[in-house]
Structure 1
Amino acid sequence: MMQPKSLQWRLSLSLGLGMTVLWAMAAIVTAQMLRHEMDEVFDSALEETAQRILPLAAIEIVGRDADDAEQRVATLRRHDEYLTYLVRDGQGKVLLRSHSADLAVFPPFSGMGFADTPTHRLYSDAALQGSLTIMIAEPLSHRRISAGRALLALALPLAIIIPLGLIGIWAIVRVSMTPVRSFRSQIEARGGGDLAPIAADNLPSEIDPVAKAVNHLLDRLRRTLQAERSLAAKSAHELRTPVAAALAQAQLMIANAPDDATRERAEDMQTALRRLSRLTEKLMQLARSEGGRLLAETPVDIGTILRMVVSELGGHVDTVGRIELTLPDVPVLASIDADAFAILTRNLIENALKHGAQDEPVRVALSADGVLRVANAGPVVPPEVLARLSEPFERGQALVRGAGLGLAIARTIATGTGGQLELTSPASNREDGFEARFVVGK
């Protein structure tokens, strides 16, 4: 039998089984004591009955003729006789008996006191120096029936009390586990970017150290991530100005180059500086996506934002006519920060433009239920490469060089907003290509 994993069920079952076993043992002990006490009461009744009947029988027998036959005591009305008796003389002759007495039940007189047969409990006594004896018999079945009825009267309340007790134990344990369930729910509801301390009020003393350890771990993780984000953001910010200045100098050198060799070196410098500028921008976007506010207090129309991003990206000389946008006829509202959604879509579309086939358009589609698809033509991405494409600085097998941060930024924003980013290759309804599918969080 597998032990339940739930602490609530473990406690309920353990306490319930323990209570049931204890009550069962108490019932058995009570039954034994009750049976012993009942036997004492019945034995006392036998003895008292014999001591009352024997003197009366002696008076009756002494006062009649010696030749009188045995006398059977008549009954006043029909009834079940649980006690029967015989009065005999010293030679064992029956002088008096109760109306239902069966001679086969009574063995010969062997002395005063109690005795047992397979079917009856007997008590014997004597009077007139042993010349008269009395033997009273009680069926053992009568005692068993009486004891059974008493035990049934004892067990019936337990049959009701035990289930009620089990239900009460379960309810008490459930109420006691409410702080633990609340603590668990807070942990489950946390997003990947929420590292604030978890409220741990009214937790049991056994669980409280766990909550403190979790909050301590979250605090250390939060400070570590803040340091990393701060370093990335500050480094990128500090690089923007010198990179922009160097890029301007490179452009000036190209314009004033005295010969082709100098111009070619200046153009190579300009290309490297532009790549560094894009990397700086991506680092700032990554820092913002990991540390910024990604959800909006009021829903925004992400279709309008998507149209603006596509218009901006499609206006460049090298991307004119390469983006096909499909939008629904109704607004698509979502509780996502407008800047965060713009960064996500920009990175997905830039990734498709950069790594997709240059002779086919990038298809961008947003459905009314908040599903964004960005698909491009190109070679199929192997599954093992596809699985790690959204990791930072992962470039896959593309021929075009990039920073390797675009999909990582998109994945971070998707996770932080409660959405889902799925990468598939080949693209939907194609035998080749790559598709990024973003499902807006509810």
Structure 2
Amino acid sequence: MDARPPRRWSLRRRLALWLAVGVTALWLAAVAVAGLVLRHAIDELFDSALQEVAQRVLPLAYAELLSRDGGAGTTQHMARIGPHREYITYVVRDAEGRELLQSSDADLMKIPRGLAPGFHTTERLRTYTEAAVQGTVLVTTAEELAHRGAALRHAVAALIWPLVALVPIALLGVWLSVRLSLKPVVAFRRAIEARGRGNLAPVAGEGLPDEMAPVAESVNALIERLRGTLEAERGFTANSAHELRTPIAAALAQAQRLVAELPEGAAVERARSVVTALRRLARLSEKLLQLAKAEGGGLLAESPAPLGPVLRHVIEEIDRQSDGGDALIVSIPPDGGPLSDLDPDAFAILARNLIENALKHGTPDAPVRVQLGEGLFEVSNHGAVVPADRLERLTRPFERGPTRSEGSGLGLAIAAAICRGAGLSLQLASPIPDEADGFRATVRFTASPRA
């Protein structure tokens, strides 16, 4: 089944195309109407010419016949005056149909005999017959219908040819007009697209047409509601963190004091179990709060900042809490690393989860490599290969790989949620490329240019 997305049309392209097609269609319709009017006008003009030629030839022909001396039985051909094409020919006949006088090209026309006075149309000729001297002298003028058709075609072609030059000019003019008219709409669309990565500023609606102004108002209202929801969620997350950490820390302190005060025996073992459970609960609550922050927004900073100092602080904190700094091979550019608009707290959570995950599930004697470079952050460790089918599920909450180490299964889920919310890319690989085992997590981001 074809899963390709449906083809989208540009509003500017559609308007320009249909306007150009409309102009062309209207022009062709006007040409068709003009052709019909021209056909009627050409018929009237040439019929008038036929009638006028007949009426002018008739008295001249009669005078010519009266002046003949004994040549009444012969046909006189008018001599051609200079090279020219004779579009209207004539022939003078008597009442019995004998030809008395004709123009130079009358033989080519083959004007039919026995035509009554008036206009007649044959298969290829348009004729007019005029009678005089009580019907004893008849003048018939004729014109080929093809000549009228050619005149009409030339006139219509003269109207159509400008269309060939007009269409490109009309397309360009319509495209520029539509482009300028829709420029505020395009700017509005781009402003909405820019709100995709944490930018919840109102969208400017100046210059929009009346039809689009309500859309801008609705979008800004939606953005305002979304900002309020995210702020409420961040506030809830911060308050929940404080409210959860305080009682858990108090209960853990009391349990540790109880372990110190109880004598060795079954009671102290139960107290130690309580301490272990409270520590696990503290870690789980912290992870859940981190996941809530990652999925709740607020992952982008107002201005880009280097990530190197944040990563150094995370590594120092890990070393201070778990003595894991000796197992790390860290590579950070001397200039502080790439600039990024990722929120420093969000990057700290992301880096901490990936590094702790590598320390916890990697081979104990093998180092964990941490690399911060231009456009990427990478953490890799040696250990058992994660099957491909399970690798795809590791970013789900509470999903764990092939390990016996304790954990909540939330580290990679938190990292994936931060990358997803900030528009970053998280790539997991096992084994490490070009090696036999291990696990690598790579975060790719677009570094902001330095000032």
TM-score, normalized by the shorter chain, greater than 0.5? yes
Match of 1:102 in 2: 107
2:226 and 2:402 mapped to 1: Cα distance? 33
CA contact 2:350–2:415 (8 Å) conserved in 1: yes
**1:41 partnered with 2:45:** yes
Q: Give the residue type in structure 1 aligned to 2:355.
A: I
Aligned positions of 1:134-283 closer than 5 A: 134-200=139-205, 218=223, 221-283=226-288
**1:381 partnered with 2:377:** no
Q: Using the TM superposition, give the Cα deviation of residue 223 of structure 1 relative to its aligned residue in structure 2, in angstroms.
A: 4.6
CA contact 2:205–2:216 (8 Å) conserved in 1: yes
**1:361 partnered with 2:367:** yes
Match of 1:61 in 2: 65
Match of 1:17 in 2: 21
**Structure 1 residue aligned with 2:406, among 386, 389, 401?**
401
1:12 and 1:398 mapped to 2: Cα distance? 62
CA contact 1:73–1:98 (8 Å) conserved in 2: yes
Aligned positions of 1:318-333 closer than 5 A: 319=324, 321-328=326-333, 331-333=336-338
Q: Give the residue type in structure 2 aligned to 1:426.
A: P
Aligned positions of 1:51-130 closer than 5 A: 51-65=55-69, 67-68=71-72, 69-102=74-107, 105-130=110-135
1:118 and 1:20 mapped to 2: Cα distance? 35
**Structure 1 residue aligned with 2:308, among 303, 312, 316?**
303
1:429 and 1:75 mapped to 2: Cα distance? 100
Q: Deviations over 1:278-312 (max 9, x none)?
A: 23433444455444363362532x33432332233
**TM-score normalised by the chain length of structure 1:** 0.86
Q: Using the TM superposition, give the Cα deviation of residue 244 of structure 1 relative to its aligned residue in structure 2, in angstroms.
A: 1.8
Q: Give the residue type in structure 2 aligned to 1:346.
A: R
**1:32 partnered with 2:63:** no
Q: Deviations over 1:21-55 (max 9, x none)?
A: 33323322322321221111101110011112212
1:310 and 1:204 mapped to 2: Cα distance? 54
Q: Match of 1:437, SS?
A: strand
Q: Give the residue type in structure 2 aligned to 1:170.
A: W
Call closer, same or farther: CA 1:128–1:320 in 2, change over 3 Å: closer
Q: Match of 2:157, SS?
A: helix
Unaligned runs of 5+ in 2: 1-5
2:8 and 2:265 mapped to 1: Cα distance? 79
**Equivalent residue pairs, number:** 439
Call closer, same or farther: CA 1:209–1:389 in 2, change over 3 Å: farther
**1:6 partnered with 2:10:** yes
1:228 and 1:330 mapped to 2: Cα distance? 35
1:78 and 1:14 mapped to 2: Cα distance? 52
Q: Using the TM superposition, give the Cα deviation of residue 133 of structure 1 relative to its aligned residue in structure 2, in angstroms.
A: 0.6
CA contact 1:420–1:439 (8 Å) conserved in 2: yes
CA contact 2:128–2:140 (8 Å) conserved in 1: yes
Q: Give the stretch that moved more between structures: 185-194 or 84-93.
A: 185-194
Match of 1:423 in 2: 428
CA contact 2:125–2:143 (8 Å) conserved in 1: yes
Call closer, same or farther: CA 1:441–1:405 in 2, change over 3 Å: farther
Q: Match of 2:300, SS?
A: coil
2:138 and 2:228 mapped to 1: Cα distance? 102
1:250 and 1:9 mapped to 2: Cα distance? 72
Q: Give the residue type in structure 2 aligned to 1:230.
A: G
Call closer, same or farther: CA 1:329–1:231 in 2, change over 3 Å: closer
1:181 and 1:428 mapped to 2: Cα distance? 44
Unaligned runs of 5+ in 1: none
Q: Give the residue type in structure 2 aligned to 1:151.
A: V
Q: Give the stretch that moved more between structures: 115-124 or 37-46.
A: 115-124
2:173 and 2:133 mapped to 1: Cα distance? 66
Q: Using the TM superposition, give the Cα deviation of residue 147 of structure 1 relative to its aligned residue in structure 2, in angstroms.
A: 2.1
Q: Deviations over 1:376-415 (max 9, x none)?
A: 2222333343334334444455433334433333334334
Match of 1:439 in 2: 444
Match of 2:3 in 1: none
Q: Match of 2:141, SS?
A: strand
Call closer, same or farther: CA 1:212–1:251 in 2, change over 3 Å: same
Q: Give the residue type in structure 2 aligned to 1:257.
A: L
Call closer, same or farther: CA 1:296–1:178 in 2, change over 3 Å: closer
